[in-house]
Chain A
């Protein structure tokens, strides 16, 4: 039994397969076809819906990609779709702004854009820019100008709440809905609330897929057509959802979604926060987690070189015990990690940078927004008396795993800008890495850019007045 609210109306559904996506649920089971499938991989935003969750006595709404979210994640939540905004023939102001501004042409992406703008306006337009809110919504017709103009207009208005927002019972009903969904012997979707029940679930179902945001696993289902009969959802495990600003560190639960992490990073690690604004899209950042990025262990996972450069410490949770590990010991090979069977990442501890430490993070991709890195460089070092010291260099996209480059760092260690021999740096990079030539970049480009990102870091440190960024941020 799956229980949730849909556009203000309670819904109970039987016979929901654990790996049914929210988009399939809407289009095939609820026959609500306003929400579209553009790619079924979380890249285009045509399927954007808004999901509300009881949090601290109110409903917090976020825009997500319904195509790669599992239906079970809706349990106890309020799903809002494009059909839920208008009041009869009277359009919601977000919809009307797009009509007035000629913001739709073919219309296929439009409802996704409506939902992204609706959520953006609902949560306060000062939280992120219209551009950030829309970076995960591809439009092939308009060139975006009329959509941005509509957003500019909406930013000046107070958000309008649809009719369902006044429903007094909805929050209480949502809060009362049980957490474990579709429980069964052979297949099911479980969403434990604490570590004890998580451990019990994992012992029950040693063959289950453990999932946080499903921004990667969802594609296994929609693209690789895998069947995922048993899913354990980490998103409500309290211990994994905590953020602690400790003495000298920030500790992040593995299931904390990026958008929740972002303000903490802005305070403590602004360059990491700037990178995060280019990781996936708003819809992805509302679901994706550091734990997921680590567990997937992709060589092009955006956050991983940063964790390496910052010397993050991981806490791994096993069936019976926890253990700590520096992130640099975590990646064993292509998508292979030090996690043992039944073990998950529980927390990530990021030590604060000492005052003299500089951290630089650079992502290079074909497209600025919502693209996967060709090369990602994350560097930390001290700059004292004109020399680089304690240099720690991490790269993504250069090897089978995100990786530190101590030999390259040695070429900078203790040197001033003038003393750096760039031919030796390049030779050291070439000796350290044999990157791939693939759809994103050639090996030669990766090597060249890796060296040039170091040049950029040096110039920015030594000659801060030299312009080096084509964008103001990240």
Chain B
């Protein structure tokens, strides 16, 4: 460049307030409300673009005997059809372990599995065409649920055990012993934007893929494998997703692979957008679990030992299920010291869609069993469940988990005490009892439950990130990092980090779409780790640039490093003060490189699967919620009346964004445990296949009294960015308080001495059956003249 831009006089690019810890708006908020934010399907279509639909299996498990696709091919608008044998490179696109063919190859293993793909001139033509296929199957025995899988020893991966001490002896010696089981339902992600991508052929035999994916690098790698080209021939861009929640961590890749193969064959840009009806049937969901516990405890309800078995339904292939069931195991203690413990996790193979990542990644399913045990112990001993929970919390001296990680920051005892007071738990407990005594039909329930959630990928090598920062000669900054934006506010948080390093207004920073040709070899944006990893990587890139600027200034102006101070959009150079952009122009003229990469690798973490011990988590995020519900004992219908949440985000990078994650995560968790019911028929067909029969929370489900606060003055004890903590997943599990409160309302029918199991989702139907069981148990107790409280 010959001439630099003229800088307006006094162009101070100063932040109006401290940029870190500020309620800065989502960087796309204006575009969201104006309708100008582009999602994949909004990108203007190029001439000749083709659209994809897949022919799907109607069988849960079968050999494909023959396929007659003549009518498909003849349908107006159809341009190309591919089957498994048309894949030029590798057919298997399993993200971790093999087992996921891009298109079924001779055998189908779930209803909805893609068998062939059609490219047509319109989506309507493609969808109409695939219905014309005639496929003959030879049905094979299908394993459709966890019980059947356990009975048949049908697993996608071997089981894993975490054992400490002698649990059998502890259970035998404990003064009291209880056991129980639960079925925890799965969950459809129901991101509002369905899966979508566009693959455009490149001139060198590869493709450029624009996708709605949490993991562009994996899309890149898998597309390269199915095309049989080097990874560098495939580049992937993700600007934003219309929600993801884990559902676009691995599930976006098959669409991109199919679209890429069709794009190479036809030479056209190919869009594959799944209509909701396909998305709900063809893509993986949260794992449902069948859990069992046996606990030994003393008169105070303190655990002496816990024997826990977790069985997760993985579906037909491994996908991420090994790590999902591992995380369930890592969270089977939730916040409690189990003492002697055995936790076993089974990875059940069924002929249903392959379950996948979903906010919490098995953690919620693992926590559910110990929270059920806490309530059951309280009923058995006639204690308030909160007292049992508090008595079992990790604390100094009882601070090593069943997998050997020492808890180093004890946040929960104080956090729960604070919430107990601010939510007025004890007084409301009395009010609830009084209400229940006075009301024969409606019953209230109250519960306060904690969350302790481990932060880091349990697959060690994923705990790294990269960033790329360019400073241009007007002082504006282009920021790119490996993280993807799915609504969680990652981009604004990382731009705040960058703005803070240079002390300039974040408006001067543009976070660009995530691209594999800018930052390579990235990890998925998942495990709540987006800001931790990418914030740190961007910070490191900025510190490199900052150091170059300081070195330049010291050399040019004869200063000591301490005399170069970045402040409020300006830079102090000893006695002199210049605008940020002036320094940048001088540095450019001084031939300083104004572009840098940054990398970050999370320290300290390790886990040994052979011993089931280690330090898999860099740190833990915490929170607690107190929920009050009102239950109709005639129908099982209920309403959440009030929720108080206190949550630990360390030092918040952006409190407004963090509160948004907490509220949204809580409501999503509440949906998982209450109204969101996945139902399959006896042939393995998903019946809950549309929003008409799968009910995520709507506006009226938000508690009328909803009080959310961030725990103050508890910076992360580990050196995370700004001492903040991850926030994406942990609040999801705060919703366990709603389920526990429903059980509390049911337990009121037995004088709080017994609560029947309440599997989830706790639909009105399941609540009514629990009510009936409680009434029956109370009746039997009276008939038997047992003491009734």
Contact = CB atoms under 8 A, between A and B. Distances in A.
Given A33-B41, A44-B192, A102 B243 contact: no
Interface stretch (A91-99, A177-185, A258-266, A312-320): A91-99
Contacts of B276: 38-41
A453 interface: yes
B693 interface: yes
Contacts of A455: 634
A371 B674 CA distance: 14
A135 interface: yes
Contacts of A371: 695
Nearest to A440: B693
Interface in B368-383: none
B263 to A, nearest CB: 21
Interface core residue of A31, A82, A96, A439 (most chain B CB under 10 Å):
A439
A367 B44 contact: no
Nearest to B193: A108
Interface in B425-453: 439-442
B690 interface: yes
A438 interface: yes
Contacts of A366: 675, 677, 695, 763-764
A127 interface: no
A449 B766 CA distance: 12
Contact of B656 (A81, A98, A102): A102
B765 A36 contact: no
Contacts of A34: 34-36
B683 to A, nearest CB: 14
Given A43-B690, A143-B667, A83 B35 contact: yes
A368 B700 CA distance: 7
Given A33-B38, A141-B664, A370 B193 contact: no
B764 A364 contact: yes
Contacts of A439: 677, 679, 687-688, 693
B42 A452 contact: no
Contact of B32 (A40, A41, A107, A453): A107
Interface stretch (A109-117, A335-343, A384-392, A401-409): A109-117
B134 interface: no
Contacts of A145: 663, 702, 706, 708
Interface in A282-311: none
Interface stretch (B22-30, B78-86, B584-592, B598-606): B22-30
Interface stretch (B408-416, B485-493, B558-566): B485-493
B441 A466 contact: yes
B16 interface: no
Interface stretch (B124-132, B178-186, B464-472, B534-542): B124-132
Interface residues of A, number: 85
Contacts of A225: 124, 127-128, 131
Interface stretch (B146-154, B635-643, B712-720): B635-643
Nearest to A130: B699
User: Chain B binding site: helix, strand, loop or mixed by DSSP?
Assistant: loop
A470 interface: yes
Nearest to B489: A105
Contacts of A105: 26, 243, 487-489, 660, 664
Contact of A142 (B44, B127, B277, B660): B660
B699 A144 contact: yes
Contacts of B659: 102
B459 interface: no
A43 B632 CA distance: 27
A143 B666 contact: yes
Contacts of A135: 698-700
Contacts of A81: 35
A220 B10 CA distance: 63
Contacts of B660: 102, 105, 141-142, 146
B442 A369 contact: no
B32 to A, nearest CB: 3
A223 B695 CA distance: 18
Contacts of A108: 39, 191-193, 242-243, 487
A225 B677 CA distance: 26
A39 B702 contact: no
B330 interface: no
Contacts of A138: 190, 192, 691, 696, 698
A178 B337 CA distance: 75
Contacts of A111: 32-35
A24 to B, nearest CB: 9
Contacts of B698: 135-136, 138, 144, 367-370
Contacts of A430: none
B37 interface: yes
A449 B635 contact: yes
Interface string B30-72: 1111111111011010000000000000000000000000000
Interface core residue of B192, B439, B487 (most chain A CB under 10 Å):
B192
A229 B338 CA distance: 66
Nearest to A89: B30
B489 A134 contact: no
A148 interface: yes
Contacts of B35: 33-35, 81-83, 111, 114
A86 interface: yes
Interface in B697-711: 697-702, 706, 708
Contacts of B440: 466
Nearest to A82: B35
A442 B34 CA distance: 44
Contact of A140 (B44, B192, B639, B763): B192
A59 interface: no
B241 interface: yes
Interface in A356-400: 364-372, 374
B471 to A, nearest CB: 26
A202 interface: no
Contact of B441 (A40, A103, A109, A459): A459
Given A143-B664, A146-B660, A223-B277, A438 B687 contact: yes
A40 B33 contact: no
16 contacts: A27-B41, A33-B42, A98-B32, A102-B26, A138-B691, A141-B243, A142-B664, A223-B690, A367-B675, A367-B695, A368-B698, A368-B700, A374-B764, A438-B687, A455-B634, A466-B439
Given A31-B44, A106-B243, 12 more contacts: A36-B41, A99-B29, A102-B656, A107-B28, A108-B191, A111-B33, A114-B35, A138-B190, A139-B192, A144-B697, A367-B675, A468-B442
- A-B pairs, 10 with minimum CB distance: A34-B35, A106-B487, A108-B242, A107-B32, A143-B667, A82-B35, A43-B691, A105-B487, A33-B42, A95-B33
